Chains A and B, each alone.
Chain A
Amino acid sequence: MKYFHIICTLLFGVAVTLFFGKAYPHHLHYQEQFQLFLFDSSYVWDVVKLPGGVADLLGRFCTQFFLYAWTGAIIIGVLLSLMQILMLRLANWGRLYGLSFLPSCLLWLFLLDENALLGGVWAVLLTLLVSWLYEKLPEGKIRRILLVAIVPVLYWMVGPLCIVFPLLQIRRSELPWNVVTLVLLIVMPIILAHFVPVPASKLWTGIHYHRYPTAIPTLLWGSALSIFALTCIVRSLQRWANASSKHVMPIVLYVLVVACMGTVVWKNCNFKAEKTMRYDFMSCHQQWNRIIETITAEKPNNQIGVTVQNLALAMRGELLTHMFDYNQNGLLGLLPDVERDAISPMPTAEALYQLGMVYAAQRTVFEAQEAILDFQKSARCYKRLAQTNLIIGKYEVARKYLMALQKTFYYCDWANETLQLLGDEEAIARHPEYGRLRKMAYQTDFYFSDHVTPQMLEDLYNSNTENRLAYEYMMAAFALTGDRDSFIKYAPKNR
């Protein structure tokens, strides 16, 4: 039993990693596509200058690795395990050892929400780390002065979740100092509200803990405050908790906590959202065969799923023959209207892009990016905006997006390669994707409002009758709208 604690932590970390890597990978992809981490000093400054900025920056830094779900899963596994290890250092848990996993489990639960930001996890972790380091300081005046000095610094680094730090330091012997720190923590948001141009309420609840700015992430706060509550419980039950009982009680409690929390986590998983995200992921990576396999196993019944299903069928040349084998949603199942949210326009944009409706695709991607609720940018959107600008010959605009992508970790090589194409008409014409899409583009302008109409598809097809995808979409549109005359007009025997 020498390595009992290590084994338990390891098991927990592996469980978290396996969960996110195997059961929840597309939630991680979803997170990655709603941010653009730049290795750039002005970007870093823009993030860290706000309260909670350091935690936010670390969260964003880690989230960029979510492009590969297993890397993201390992990162989350390590962070939650680290947190449990730090919890262990804060008190003598003894029989109550299992409870040291509770805050990590609550964070796990928090991360099930696709809009929960990793900055929140880092905020709790950094607070715990500072608390642990502070515990190591020798008693004395310097320690007390540091207690007061650390609070504003920590507030700036992690935001209001830092309240856990002064709470953990409450001692009967240091009551005046504790009062000073807590007063300081209350006064800080009030003063900062005059200088920091964010909603005043965010200075109390945290700016970048959750993508929905008005949401208060109760699970995150619950996790943070559970650190204080559990430490109090353990300290008050010190004698009982550390009475000799070998390892039976700690193991039982560990199993109980992990089993209970594991069940709660599983029950709270949003596998419906995970499926939808999977469709979006597959269309983003143009995995047409995988989409066909997926829809064959289970017919999609939501807007994104149907859009992706139809795109994959069309890409394989099977839309006209197999579209009615699956659920349809009229024209909106082919090319839905652009809604003001960040995710639903993306599969539509992919379909528009593949069809050769490059201007419309560009607009749709732009709208999606602008709808990101916490005002971040998206590497995925930047990439597509660079591509669409390249195709329509707006090289200087494409260069802007590519210059930004050059400062990223994963998109840098692609950006460098694509920069070489700018202005090189021959290379673009030869390019399998950009060259094809240039040929498929509209020959005459068509002015439209928010809805893609069969007439637009007809116009696109007539611009280039080699555009097989446009033909499939046009005919599908005629079939779905019951336009029999047009369908017959373009039916294969009449073409």
Chain B
Amino acid sequence: MKRYTLFLLPLVAVALMWLSSCASHPTVPSSCKDTQCQPAIFPDYCDVTVPCNIAPLNFMLPTDEYQACVARFSMPDGQQQTYGDGVKVQIPESEWHAMLDASKGKSIKVEVWGQKGDEWLSFTPFEIHIAEEPIDEYLSYRLIEPSYVAWNYMEIVQRNLTSFEESQIFNNEITSVDREVGQCINCHSYQNYKTDNMLFHVRLSNSGTVIVNDGKVSKINLKRDVTAFGGAYPAWHPTAKLIAFSSNKTRQAFHTSNANKIEVYDEISDLILYDVEADSVSVICDDPELLEVYPAWSPDGKYLYYCKTIPLPEELRDKDIRSTYSYLQYNLYRRSFNLATRAFGEEELVYDAASVNKSATLPRVSPDGRNLLFAEGQYGCFHSRHRDADIVCMPLDKGCVVTQEESLPDTIQGRERPQLFDLSLLNSKDESDSYPTWSSNGRWIMCASRRLDGTYSRVYLSYFKNGKAEKAFLLPQEDPEVNTYLLKSYNRPEFMVEPVRISAREFSKVFEK
């Protein structure tokens, strides 16, 4: 019997662990004090609009104020369910998705109670609006410390947005041959939200650009005779096996008492076009005086959008970057593209940010081609480090040149000047919002924002319809506290409609050749 007991003990332990992982359905407090205010839940999911397939919106009350939390979710059909374990509300995925299915196009009412000492407090209920439009099932991002020059372990990760499943695409350890030199992996990019054609860069130790072409992995060197440097920020053409890159010489400098802490700037920056099938590189534009960066294709592939600096004032042209960095401002431009001839047209100004003393970067055209998202700060190209940076959205329907300056005439270069969309519910007040992206159905805007603490960027999502962005909500996590203690930034979030199926080991094999 004793022998069997030894085998049974682990089984009992596993069973207990399984039982403890099941959601608890606590009872609602019988008596409580009404606070007349909404609960200070983290993340803030009060009155947000979410996709009909999103992972459970788990949340919590502050641990230093409350001992327990109970939340009651009421569906439009009258069904109710309560959750709460300590100060956290964690909803099983199956129950949550059943709630979403029952509430599509409607709202879930959420009542929250918090225990403070011996007393239960009740809060004003809030609603979670369930949009009819789903969100792309996958998201990928780079997890990295918000570093200056050196870096430690980093990984490109994919996350299923309908659940909490997260898996690694690649890391900077597996192929690094010289840890002292280090290896940086960056700029993961996909063609049309699909993963059969994708790429990412590997820098320094064992470097190269990893390109997946119809599922086949190869490593290439983008430094050619026609370019001063290799490829950096990429943009896949939506239909052809072409990738536009910026080719940059990037530098960093630091502040002694500015909360932005660091400036990332380019000394050289041009645009190049890489033909995946022919393995050839050609120059798109390489103005020796100005910097071109952040290419982005229109969804039909007929235009290439990008950012370009305006000339510095004469008196600053030969000055050190310490004098000039705050004068470097980028406008948005585009060039037409003829796929048959691979020829680019003349440059057209799309958005004149400099005229209002701003700098526009990271353009992204909506999948329907009607709107343009970008990040805007006062200067520079690296807005993820600029606290004043916000996401801006402008309509493209009329093919307009836009300035924000009120005094300007209503027509510029003969075209009407439309209003920018209201993204005030998406942007944070005084921390960096950057790297905007559209979901493949154009209903969801995603951005990386440092709004929680000013340092660690997190992924925020917002519903966009009829020119209006709804209140942004934080990427849900199984344990809502992860966003508090995780010492990594979510970098370059990109939507995908399918997962990357190639393992890190398979990617690494191209480095062995």
Q: Which residues of A contact B (CB under 8 A)?
A: 193-195, 197-199, 212-214, 338, 340-341, 357, 359-360, 362-363, 366-367, 369-373, 375, 377, 389, 392, 394, 396-397, 399-401, 403-404, 441-449, 456, 459-460
Residue B477 lies at the interface, judged by CB distance under 8 Å to chain A: no
- Answer yes or no: B503 CB below 8 A from chain A CBs: yes
The 8 Å CB contact of A199, one of B147, B150, B174, B258, is B174
Query: In the assembled complex, which residues on chain B have CB atoms less than 8 Å from the CB atom of A444?
Result: 257
With A197-B174, A445-B258 as contacts: A394 and B454 at CB distance below 8 Å = yes
Q: A214-B178, A397-B454 are in contact. Are A446 and B256 (CB under 8 A)?
A: yes
Please list 5 pairs of residues, one from A and one from B, whose beta carbons are closer than 8 Å in the complex, sorted by A's number.
A366-B145, A366-B148, A367-B147, A389-B455, A442-B256
B174 touches A447 (CB 8 A): no
Which residues of A have CB within 8 Å of B505?
A: 193-195, 197
* Residues on A with beta carbons closer than 8 Å to the beta carbon of B145: 366, 370
**Which chain B positions have C-beta within 8 A of A194?**
503, 505
B174 contacts A446, C-beta separation under 8 Å: no
Given contacts A360-B254, A371-B152, A400-B456, 8 further A-B contacts (CB under 8 A): A194-B503, A195-B505, A197-B504, A199-B173, A340-B182, A370-B151, A392-B259, A399-B484
Chain B contacts with A in 237-277, Cβ cutoff 8 A? 253-259, 261-263
User: Are A396 and B173 within 8 A (Cβ)?
Assistant: no
Select one of A193, A370, A441, A445 contacting B150, CB under 8 A: A370
Instruction: Select which of B179, B253, B262 is within 8 A of A214 by beta carbon.
Output: B179
Q: Which of A366, A400, A443 contacts B485 (CB 8 A)?
A: A400
Closest residue on chain B to residue A199 by CB atoms: B174
Instruction: Using A212-B179, A373-B179, A396-B454 as known contacts, say yes or no to A449 and B253 having CB atoms under 8 A apart.
Output: yes
- B257 lies within 8 A of A448 (CB): no
Tell whether, in the assembled complex, residue B455 and residue A397 are in contact, meaning their CB atoms are under 8 Å apart: yes
Which residues of chain B (145-193) have a CB below 8 Å from chain A? 145, 147-153, 168, 171, 173-180, 182
Give min CB distance, A407 to chain B, whole Å. 9
CB distance from B35 to the nearest CB of A (A): 22
Known: A366-B148, A400-B453, A403-B484. A446 touches B255 (CB 8 A): yes
Any A CB within 8 A of the CB of B501: no
Q: Which residue from A375, A394, A397 sits with its C-beta under 8 Å from B152?
A: A375
A363 lies within 8 A of B178 (CB): no
Find chain B residues with CB under 8 A from A445 CB.
255-258
| Contact A197 B256, CB 8 Å, known A340-B150, A372-B152, A400-B487 | no
The 7 closest A-B pairs by CB, nearest first: A396-B453, A370-B150, A442-B257, A375-B153, A446-B256, A197-B504, A445-B258
**Across the interface, which residues of A come within 8 angstroms of B32, CB to CB?**
none
Asked if A340 meets B180 with Cβ closer than 8 Å, knowing A363-B254, A394-B455, A397-B454, the reply is yes
Q: B residues engaging A (CB < 8 A)?
A: 145, 147-153, 168, 171, 173-180, 182, 253-259, 261-263, 322, 325, 452-456, 484-485, 487, 503-505
Q: Are B254 and A375 in contact (CB under 8 A)?
A: no
Q: Would you call A375 and B173 a contact (CB within 8 A)?
A: yes
A357 to B487: give the CA distance in the assembly, Å. 24
Shortest CB distance B446–A (Å): 22
Residues on the A chain within 8 Å of B254, using CB: 359-360, 363, 447-449
Known: A367-B150, A370-B152, A404-B487. A441 touches B257 (CB 8 A): yes
**Which of the listed residues B150, B175, B263 has the most CB atoms from chain A within 10 Å of its own CB?**
B150
Contact of A363 with B261 in the complex, beta carbons under 8 Å: yes
Q: From B153, which residue of chain A is reached at the shortest CB distance?
A: A375
If the complex has contacts A198-B173, A394-B453, A400-B484, are A446 and B257 also in contact, measured as CB distance less than 8 A? yes
Complexed CA–CA distance, A113 and B253 (Å): 35
Which one of A370, A394, A396 contacts B147 once the chains associate, using CB atoms below 8 Å?
A370
Contact between B485 and A197 (Cβ–Cβ < 8 Å)? no
Q: How far is the CA of A341 from the CA of B255 in the complex (A)?
A: 22
Tell me if B175 and A456 are in contact (CB < 8 A). no
Does the CB pair A448–B253 fall under 8 Å?
yes
B residues in contact with A397, CB < 8 Å: 453-456
CA distance A460 to B503 in the complex (A): 51
B172 to chain A: closest residue by CB: A375
Neighbouring B residues of A357 by C-beta, 8 Å: 256
Chain B residues with CB under 8 Å of A198's CB are 173-174
Chain A residues whose CB sits within 8 angstroms of the CB of B258 once the complex forms: 359, 445, 447
Give the one of B168, B180, B262 with max A CB within 10 A.
Answer: B180
Asked if A197 and B171 make an inter-chain contact with CB atoms under 8 angstroms apart, the answer reads yes
Contacting pair A447 B255 (CB below 8 A): yes
What is the CA–CA distance of A377 and B182 in the complex, to the nearest angstrom?
16
What's the Cα separation between A191 and B227 when bound, in Å? 42
A459 and B257 CA atoms in complex are apart in Å by 12
A447 adjacent to B322 (CB under 8 Å): yes
A208 to chain B, nearest CB (A): 12
B455 contact set on A, CB distance < 8 A: 389, 394, 397
CB atoms of B175 and A199 under 8 A apart: yes
Chain A residue with the shortest CB-CB distance to B261 = A359
Contact A404 B485 (CB under 8 A): yes
Residues of A within 8 A of B180 (CB): 340-341, 373
Candidate in A212, A373, A397 with the most chain B CB atoms within 10 angstroms: A397
- Which of chain A's residues has its CB closest to B325's CB? A447
A404 to B487, CA, bound (A): 9
Please name the residue on chain A nearest to B512 by beta carbon.
Answer: A200
Q: Which residues of A contact B148 (CB under 8 A)?
A: 363, 366-367
State A404–B486 Cα separation when bound (angstroms): 9
A399 to B257, CA, bound (A): 21
| Residue numbers in A under 8 Å from B177 (CB-CB) | 214
Least CB distance, A185 to chain B, in whole angstroms: 20
- The distance from the CB of B434 to the nearest CB of chain A, in whole angstroms, is 18
B39 to chain A, nearest CB (A): 20
Contact A371 B150 (CB under 8 A): yes
Q: What is the bound-complex CA distance between A456 and B322, given in angstroms?
A: 13
Query: Are A447 and B150 in contact, CB atoms less than 8 angstroms apart?
Result: no
Q: Bound complex: CA of A444 vs CA of B259, how far in Å? A: 12
List the A side residues contacting B456 at CB < 8 Å.
397, 400
With both chains docked as a complex, state the minimum distance between the C-beta of A63 and any C-beta of chain B, in angstroms.
18
Q: Provide the bound-state CA to CA distance between A212 and B171, in Å.
A: 18
**Known contacts A194-B505, A400-B484; A359/B179 CB under 8 A:** no
What's the minimum C-beta distance from B453 to chain A, rounded to whole angstroms?
A: 3
Chain B hits for A394, CB < 8 A:
259, 453-455
Smallest Cβ distance from B466 to chain A, in angstroms? Answer: 35
Residue of chain A at shortest CB distance from B452: A396
How far apart sit A50 and B34, CA to CA, in the bound complex (Å)?
51
Chain A residue nearest in CB terms to B481: A403
Tell me the nearest residue of chain A to B181, going by C-beta. A340
Closest to A372 in B: B152
- Distance of A324 Cα from B261 Cα, bound (Å): 35
Q: Which residues of B contact A447 (CB under 8 A)?
A: 253-256, 258, 263, 322, 325
B175–chain A nearest beta-carbon distance, Å: 7
Shortest Cβ gap from A397 to chain B (Å): 5
Residue of A nearest to B149 (CB): A367
With a cutoff of 8 Å between Cβ atoms, the chain B residues found around residue A443 in the complex are 257
Nearest-neighbor residue (CB-CB) of B505 within chain A: A194
Chain A residues near B325 (CB-CB < 8 A): 447
Residue from A375, A394, A441 having most chain B Cβ neighbours under 10 A: A375
- Give every chain B residue within 8 A of A446 (Cβ-Cβ): 255-257
**Chain A residues, Cβ within 8 Å of B147:** 366-367, 370
| B259: chain A residues within 8 A (beta carbon) | 392, 394
Complex Cα–Cα for A437 and B144 (A) = 30
B386 to chain A, nearest CB (A): 14
- Closest Cβ neighbor of B144 among chain A residues: A370
Complex CA–CA separation, A212 to B180 (angstroms): 9
Which of A194, A341, A400 has most chain B Cβ within 10 Å? A400
CA of A443 to CA of B168 in the docked complex: distance in angstroms? 44
Tell me, in angstroms, the Cα distance from A441 to B505 when the chains sit together: 48
A62 to chain B, nearest CB (A): 23
Q: Which residue of B lies closest to A460 (CB)?
A: B256
Q: Which residue from chain B places its CB closest to the CB of A449 in the assembled complex?
A: B253
CA distance A449 to B180 in the complex (A): 22
Provide the bound-state CA to CA distance between A39 and B367, in Å. Answer: 47
